[in-house]
Amino acid sequence: MITVAICGCGSRGLFAYASLSRIYPEKMKVVAGADIRPERLQMLQEMYGVPADMCFASDVDLLAQPKLADAMIISTQDRQHVGEAIRALELGYDLICEKPISPELSECLRLQDKVHETGRHVVIGHVLRYTPFYQTVKEIITEGKLGTIRTIDATENVGYYHFAHSFVRGNWRSAEETSPMILAKCCHDMDYIRWLADSPCVSLASFGGLSTFSAEHAPAGAGRFCMADCPDEVRARCPYDAEKIYLTGVHGFDRTGDAWPQNVVVSEPTREKLVQALQDGPYGRCVYHCDNDVFDHQTVLMQFENGIKATFTTSAFSQNIYRTIKITGTEGELTGNLEEDQILLRRFGEADQLYDLSAKKSEFKGHGGGDAGLANAFVTLVEEGGEGLTSVDASVESHAMALAAHESALAKGRTILLKDYIEAHRN
Ligand SMILES: NC(=O)c1ccc[n+]([C@@H]2O[C@H](COP(=O)([O-])OP(=O)(O)OC[C@H]3O[C@@H](n4cnc5c(N)ncnc54)[C@H](O)[C@@H]3O)[C@@H](O)[C@H]2O)c1
């Protein structure tokens, strides 16, 4: 069993990797943590039995202590990770560090250097590699069932309500405050595409933009806060209406109770607390009148050293949240949908083969089983050593791909050579 401290007890800190300790108490025990919100420290005590004197009021306070656990989970916001991770490595912790490492490539490279210098185990939160779905795709490729791979086409469909919640009203709405959307949401996709291609990305180009969630697209007469001052006839036609999303719609409190995204709007949600928070709080705002700037759709074209070509498209505009993949090879093609947990393998001239993975993830809920899968693999890595499924080097490369894609899109699709791009950011 390994002991862990949690730096940042938000949604990810309390509910993602640490939940392994509740599924398998013999593998992981949470012994300390930090957050600037007292109510989150209270939850840390209640959920994981962490004693009050091991709960700290900030990252700085936690990292001023001597080493308190075998490992640390870094799950504060995007721009805080590198400083905390470097200090934690100096104290001798192994780390799970949330993605993105940092929105600045130079900072990612700084952490990479520190990891090599200290030799500690560091796993970045690229959870999709650890899902039965992508592991099976990888196995099919590695076993040669598709022949030589020629193309990979992947999509990430963010879901209209998820996009409005996280990328228009919420934490990831501003590239300056957190990260560009292609990094915040899609560095996972860059990571598994690079992993499946099994070759460095040589060059890429990208197009994207913020097409919809800005004042010029507001319906005539729209208010500033849906429930406080937007006319009923405008709200009736608006799928992004905060009352529908958080209270009455398919994912709202009346149907799903206090689950996500309600538990981001207020801690331990009740209907009354939500109604109050939506009157004039950030999540009650009109989606056309927020202070957001991140792209709501983007596409990336990539070329890998071994000749594989890949495309990736992400969009806010989907009913459900889901990812798809299509891979073509010289002997077959594969299509799959992560949320349906099904992969169809069609070897040319042979009978189709359907892989139904839905049974495999029943005990591991977050990210198709990836959250607990990553935590489980991390425990093995800390206890037994070895290579692990991923490395900081691979994670930094996928961050570079995402950041280069953002830069390319800002430059209207300019092609970027990855090697040069990375070197230009090395201090
Ligand atoms: N791996 C994934 O798939 C995945 C999914 C979602 C989010 N993330 C990433 O995980 C990180 C956390 O996301 P989240 O959704 O949990 O956000 P969150 O806002 O719920 O959690 C961040 C927590 O850090 C705390 N915090 C802020 N400043 C602090 C400080 N100085 N000291 C200690 N605590 C501090 C906040 O109070 C908050 O509780 C982000 O970087 C995000 O991009 C990763």
* Domain chopping of the chain, boundaries: 2-124, 129-213+293-425, 215-284
The neighbouring-strand residues paired with 207 are 299
What atom of ligand 1 comes closest to residue 172's alpha carbon?
43
User: What does the pLDDT look like over 163-176, one tens digit per residue?
Assistant: 999 999 999 999 98
Q: Is the pLDDT of residue 367 over 80?
A: no
pLDDT, the chain, mean: 95
User: What does the pLDDT look like over 227-245, one tens digit per residue?
Assistant: 999 999 999 999 999 999 9
Check: CB of residue 163 under 8 Å from CB of residue 324. Answer: no
261 Cα: distance to centroid of ligand 1 (angstroms): 14
79 Cα: distance to centroid of ligand 1 (angstroms): 10
CATH class of the domain comprising 129-213+293-425: alpha beta
257 Cα: distance to centroid of ligand 1 (angstroms): 22
From 7, 14, 47, 77, the mutation candidate for ligand 1 (largest count of ligand atoms within 8 A of CB) is 77
Cβ atoms within 10 Å of 178's Cβ, excluding its own: 21
End-to-end C-alpha distance for the chain, whole angstroms: 39
* 2-124 and 129-213+293-425, same CATH topology: no
d(CA 262, CA 260): 5
CB half-sphere exposure, 92, CA atoms < 13 A = 6
What dihedral do alpha carbons 371, 377, 380, 382 form, nearest 10°? -80
Q: What percent of the chain has pLDDT over 70?
A: 98
pLDDT at 365: 63
User: What does the pLDDT look like over 185-200, one tens digit per residue?
Assistant: 999 999 999 999 999 9
* Close Cβ partners of 100 (under 8 Å, ≥ 6 residues apart): 78, 81, 108, 179, 183, 184, 187, 399, 402
* Close Cβ partners of 345 (under 8 Å, ≥ 6 residues apart): 140, 145, 146, 332, 334, 352, 353, 354, 355
Q: Is the pLDDT of residue 362 over 70?
A: no
Structure tokens at 229: 């001052």
170 Cα: distance to centroid of ligand 1 (angstroms): 12
pLDDT at 372: 85
1 Cα: distance to centroid of ligand 1 (angstroms): 25
- What is the 3 state secondary structure string of 232-260? HHHHHCCCCCHHHHHHHCCCCHHHHCCCC
pLDDT at 370: 83
User: What does the pLDDT look like over 198-213, one tens digit per residue?
Assistant: 999 999 999 999 999 9
81 Cα: distance to centroid of ligand 1 (angstroms): 9
Average pLDDT over residues 372-383: 92
Q: Is 99 in the pocket of ligand 1 (CB under 6 A)?
A: yes
Q: Give residue 389's pLDDT band: very low, low, confident or very high (50, 70, 90).
A: confident
* Interior angle at CA 5, CA 135 and CA 65, nearest 5: 145
Q: Is 269 in the pocket of ligand 1 (CB under 6 A)?
A: no
Total residues found in the chain within this entry: 427
From 74, 98, 107, 283, the mutation candidate for ligand 1 (largest count of ligand atoms within 8 A of CB) is 98
Q: Is 366 in the pocket of ligand 1 (CB under 6 A)?
A: no
CATH class of the domain comprising 2-124: alpha beta
